[in-house]
Amino acid sequence: MAIRTILTQEDPALSKLCHPVTQFDSKLADLLDDLKETLAQANGMGLAAPQVGILRRVAIVVLEDESFLEMVNPEILAQEGEQTGWEGCLSLPGMWGSVKRPDWVKIRAQDRNGQWFEMEGTDMTARCFCHEISHLDGHMYTELTDRLYTAEELDEILANEGDQEKQVKRERRGRRR
Ligand SMILES: [Zn+2]
């Protein structure tokens, strides 16, 4: 396994349409392992292959129980509701935006062996599914927000919100994808 370099927003790889995975081989397994290691080291919530320069439909998200979900050729099957929340991206360090996403999302994807599975996610997980799958289509969350905030600005806004529950949420929301 190896830590890969996370590309930043200026890199053309981040605006490209990624190709479906057709070979479920050791190269794919290595990529998934590297994405996991890179994501863990960055303490992020999700990471997509184009963020490390690989234009394939592969992404990882961190689930509520902190386990990693590997998604190969993921697609959104259904979505419902609406949530607005803070979003950041490992490819845009130090910036945050308020982004509207569905509150419930159902996806299907393949695992590293090519087996299809379906999964539902709410709240942060739904947000992560949308954020990562958008990366595979060459889109960044910045397209969905009016303005970006620095970490200092976000801290100030969240501090004013106060209560304990929001502080806990803030810790999760403060992690990038
Ligand atoms: Zn991202």
Q: Annotate 91-103 with b (16+ C-beta within 10 A) or e (fewer).
A: bbeebbbbbebbb
Domain harbouring 148, CATH code: 3.90.45.10
pLDDT tens per residue, range 56-81? 999 999 999 999 999 999 999 999 99
6 located within any domain: no
Question: How many structural domains are present in the chain?
Answer: 1
Rounded to the nearest angstrom, the distance between the alpha carbon of 39 and the centre of ligand 1 is 11
Element counts in the chain: helices (H) and strands (E): 4, 8
pLDDT tens per residue, range 77-125? 999 999 999 999 999 999 999 999 999 999 999 999 999 999 999 999 9
Q: Which domain holds residue 165?
A: 12-173
In this prediction the pTM is: 0.91
Rounded to the nearest angstrom, the distance between the alpha carbon of 87 and the centre of ligand 1 is 9
**How does the average pLDDT of the chain come out, rounded?**
93
- What confidence tier does 174 reach under pLDDT thresholds 50, 70, 90? low
Candidate list 80, 118, 132, 153, residue with the active-site label = 132
When pLDDT is averaged across residues 34-47 and rounded to a whole number, the result is: 96
Rounded to the nearest angstrom, the distance between the alpha carbon of 13 and the centre of ligand 1 is 13
Rounded to the nearest angstrom, the distance between the alpha carbon of 104 and the centre of ligand 1 is 19
Known catalytic residue at 132: yes
Residues 47, 35: contact at Cβ < 8 Å?
Answer: yes
